[in-house]
Chains A and B, each alone.
Chain A
Amino acid sequence: MTALVNHFTYEFKSGLRSTTSLLMNYLFPLGFYAMMGLVMTQVNPQFVDTMIPAMVLVSAMAATLLGMPSPLVESRDAGIYRSFKINGVPAGAILLMPALTTIFHVLIVTVIISLTANPFFKGVVPENWWAFSLVTLVSVVACGGIGSLIGVVAGEARAVVLFSQLIFLPSMLVGGVMLPLDTLPESVRRISLLLPSSHAMQAYAGYAYGQPTVISPLIALLVLAASGAIAFALAVYLFNWDNKNETRRGHPLMGLLALVPYAISIFLVS
C-alpha cells in the first residue's frame, strides 16, 4: 500500500513539476477556457449554455490525449520502465498511476472552471451537480484509457502526436464541444459518435442539464465507461517494458477494439 501511495504522490507532483505536463494539465486548458470565455461568448452567445461541460471536456482531452501518452513513450524509450521492472513495479501501476493523477488534475481544473464560468462569463451552471460530477468522472476515465492506450501502442513520439490528434481535433470540431450535436448534418453526427466527447456532451446534456439528447444519456455514459475499461485493459495487455521487447502479447492494432463501444453506438441512434 505504501508503494502505491508513494507512486501516486510522485506521479501527482510530476504533473506539476514537468513543464509539458503542467502545460497540458493546467496552462493550456485554463488559457483556452479564458480565451473562449472572452471571445466565443461574444461570437456565439449560445455557447454559454454548454460552456462549462465543453471546457471541462477540453481540459480532460488535453490532459489525457495530449499530455499522457508522450511521457509513456519517452519513459519506455529511455529505459525507465526497465528500471521499474527490475524493482518490481507492476505494469498496471505504471499505467494506472499517471491516469489516476491526471484525473485528479482534471478534477482540479473542473472545479476552477465550474466556480468561475458563471461569475466571469455567464456560463450556465448544471441543474444537477451530482450528475455533472459523475459524467465528468466517467468522461475523464474514458479519455484516460485512450490516452494510456495511445502511449502503449505508439512506437515513437511522432506516432503519439498523430494518434492523439486523430481524436482530439475531430472532437473539437464535430464532437459537440464547439457545436451541439443536433446542429450537425445527420451523416456527420453519426460519425461524430465515434468520439468520446460526443457521448460525454450527450450525457451532460441529458443528466446534468435536463435537455433533450440525440442519443440516450444512459447509453452515452455506458459507452464511455465500457470504452474506458476496454482501453485500460488493452493498455495493460499490450504494455511493453522497453522498445526491444521481444514478447509483445498482441498487435498494436488491437487498440482499435477500444473504439468498438463507440462504433456500436452509431447503430443505436434512431
Chain B
Amino acid sequence: MAETAVEVSGFTKVYGDFVAVDSIDFAVEVGEVFGLLGPNGAGKTSTLECLEGIRRPTQGTLDVMGVDPSRDGRSLRNLIGVQLQTSALPATMQVDEAMAFFTAYHGVDPRYDLLDRMGLGEKRDSQYSELSTGQQRRLALALAAAHRPAVLFLDEPTAGLDVGSRAELHTLIRELQSEGTTIILATHDMAEAEKMADRVAILLQGKLVATGTPRELTATGQGLTKVSVRTENSLLCADGRDFAAVHQRQVKDDYAVYFSRDPGPTVTAILDYLRARQEALIDLRVERPSLEERFLEITQNGGAA
C-alpha cells in the first residue's frame, strides 16, 4: 500500500461568515503530483495555506508527512517547500543572497545550480526588484526546491512564465518527482494539470466535487471524443451522413467533425464508408475530451459531476 504524504480529513476553513472550504477530504501519496483545481475563490489557496502552516483550519485534521501543520510549524518547515501564489522578497535582496539566506535557515548548502537551471545564472547579482515577474517566480520556485523538501506546494507556478520557462519548470517538476518529492500543484492551467498531475481534485465553492486521474475525470460526464476527417473530394462534408455512436456532427474548414460517445466504432464505420466509395482519406484526427472541457462542464453544472 502506498505511503500517504498528505492527508486532509473533514477540513473546513471559515473567514468570519464566509465558508472558504467546506469539510473536504483527500489524500496524496508519496511521490505523487497532485493537482488542485478550481476557479477563483474555490478554496485552493486556503487549503494550501493551512497545509503550509500559514493559517489554521477551522475544523478537521491535516497531516503532512506525519506532522500537524497547525501545531508543529518548526518540524514542518524542513519537510515542505512552498511557492506562494503571491510571494515576495525584500526589494534589495540579490538572487544569490536569497539562495544563501533561505538555505541557511533550512540548514543546507545553497543550491546555485538551481538558479542556473531556472535561467537565473546571469541574474545572480541582481536585486529582487530588478527581476521580471517571470524571473521572480522562477526564483521563488528555486528557493522552494532548494532544501529538497519531501512535499512541494506550488501555487500557480507557471503564471507569468514564458514558454521556455514553463517547459523547464515542467522538467524540473518531473525530476523532483523522480527523486521521490510529492508535489501539490494548484493551478488554473488545465493543460498543465492534465500533463503534469497523476491525480487531480476539483474544488468548487469550497467543496470537493471531483477527484481522480485526469483520464478518469475526462472519461466521465458527456465524454464526447472529437473525430475530424478530411477527404479528397470532401464527400463527408457534402452528404451529411451520421455514423455509429455519433452524438453530433459539424463541418469546419473542409473537415467533417463528429462528436462520438465511442470513437472505435465511429472511426471504423467512417473508414469502411470511404473505402466503399473509393474516396481518398487526407487527414483523420481523434481527440479525446480535455480536462479543461470536463472542468468547464463540472463548474457550469455547479459541481454536479
Contacts and interface: CB of A to CB of B under 8 A. Distances in A.
Interface stretch (B72-80, B165-173, B257-265, B288-296): B72-80
Nearest to B102: A87
Interface residues of B, number: 30
Nearest to A7: B101
Given A6-B101, A7-B101, A10-B93, A87 B77 contact: yes
Interface residues of A, number: 24
B82 interface: yes
Interface string B21-55: 00000000000000000000000000000001111
A251 interface: no
A83 B77 CA distance: 11
B249 to A, nearest CB: 51
Interface string B217-237: 000000000000000000000
A79 B90 CA distance: 10
Nearest to A81: B88
Contacts of A242: 54
B92 interface: yes
Contact of A86 (B56, B84, B90): B84
Interface in B200-256: none
Contacts of A241: 54
Given A78-B88, A87-B77, A17 B101 contact: no
A122 B180 CA distance: 70
A83 B54 contact: no
Given A17-B127, A18-B91, A241-B54, A82 B84 contact: yes
Contacts of A248: none
A242 B88 CA distance: 12
B87 interface: yes
Q: Which of A3, A18, A241 has the most B CB atoms < 10 Å from its CB?
A: A3
A80 B86 CA distance: 9
Contacts of B89: 80, 83
Contacts of A79: 84, 86-88
Interface string A1-24: 011001100100110011000000
Contacts of A10: 90, 93, 97, 101
A55 B90 CA distance: 30
B273 interface: no
Nearest 9 pairs of A and B residues by beta carbon: A88-B77, A3-B104, A17-B92, A86-B82, A87-B102, A3-B105, A78-B88, A2-B104, A88-B105
Interface of B: 52-56, 74, 77-78, 80, 82, 84, 86-93, 97, 100-102, 104-107, 127, 140, 143
